[in-house]
């Protein structure tokens, strides 16, 4: 795992990691696989989305867990900033 051009490992850190440190390294690693893209229109069949109050995003996975045609949709409230899962689709 690399951060700021250096490899993070127990050897380079000089100590054994605890669970929370390992979790943070795993999260850094996963950030490289995930991307979020704005979605102009909600796909057919998505009814729990208000385009007047929310902005729709599609989560794109570029790593080995990606599935062709699958999409995870998130909505961000324009008024509160709350983020919620809208749907997982097989397009």
How confident is the model at residue 58, as a pLDDT?
A: 92
For 77, the token pair is: 């409230």
The DSSP string of 60-87 is EE-STT--TTEEEEEEEETTT--EEEEE
Q: Could you read off the pLDDT of 46-69 as tens digits, one per residue?
A: 888 999 999 999 988 877 766 666
Mode of pairing for the β-strands spanning 54-61 and 34-38: antiparallel
Mean pLDDT of the chain: 82
pLDDT > 80? residue 37: yes
CB 56 within 8 A of CB 84: no
How confident is the model at residue 69, as a pLDDT?
A: 62
CB 84 within 8 A of CB 74: yes
**Tokens 């909600």 appear where?**
42
CB 60 within 8 A of CB 36: yes
pTM of the model as a whole: 0.65
């Amino acid at each position: 795992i690399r951060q700021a051009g250096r490899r993070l490992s127990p050897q380079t850190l000089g100590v054994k990691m605890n669970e929370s440190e390992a979790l943070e390294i795993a999260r850094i690693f996963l950030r490289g696989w995930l991307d979020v893209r704005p979605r102009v229109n909600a796909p057919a069949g998505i009814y729990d989305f208000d385009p007047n109050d929310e902005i729709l995003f599609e989560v794109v996975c570029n790593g080995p867990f990606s599935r062709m045609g699958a999409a995870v949709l998130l909505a961000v409230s324009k008024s509160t900033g709350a983020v919620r899962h809208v749907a997982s689709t097989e397009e």
